[in-house]
Amino acid sequence: MPPSVAAVNTATRRVLAFAVGGFLLLLLVAAQMFVNVDPLSLHRTDAVIMLGGAASERLPVARQFQEQFHIPVLVISHTDTVGNRVADEACNAAAFPNADVICFRPPDLDTRGEAEAISRLIEANGWRSVTVVTSSYHVTRAGRLIRQCTTADVQMVASHPDLDFIQWIRRFVIETGGLIDASFRPECANQRAEM
């Protein structure tokens, strides 16, 4: 006996309500993981490190944090990419050696490469704590990768990009995939075993 029209409509409404509820829950989780990431308290660290990309948004935050907390060293990821132009110009204009500014080029131009390079910088300089500045959508994944590479205290500070809804959805998809990857394929796994 075929189901009645009323039963089909009820089932359709339930499926639709479940899908809408799931989507809203997903948006809530995304907002907490990629938008509302500012720490409750901040403290002075040995260095401020700006991750590459979105430099016009990230570098001012890194410099402001450095000044506010009187942190002696600013570390800048130098990538020679379009999105990092402001930071690359700061590195190119700096005179080296310079105790106040360190520019590094990650072995791979991605967050994993930056995590490895930051680990080496922390070890070489004997830093016990660092503040890492990156875009809010990137804080969770970058923090996980960097912490996988060092035992130093890593404090993450977010810069806040001006993205539209579609750009936020795109970042959510990319960062969620990156978080899954960082969970199943930890960075510096061999290095951490040796620590």
From 33-47, 75-89, 117-131, the region with the lowest mean pLDDT: 33-47
How far CA 5 is from CA of 8, 9, 11, 12, in Å, comes to 5, 6, 10, 10
Q: What's the pLDDT score for residue 45? A: 96
Residue 153 burial (10 A CB sphere; 0-12, 13-18, 19+): middle
Q: Determine the Cα angle at 93 with ends 88 and 99, to 5°.
A: 95
For 165-172, what is the mean pLDDT? Answer: 86
Q: What are the pLDDT digits (tens) for 113-151?
A: 999 999 999 999 999 999 999 999 899 999 999 999 999
As a whole number of angstroms, the distance between CA 106 and CA 79 comes to: 8
pTM over cut 0.95? no
- Percent pLDDT > 70 in the chain is 83
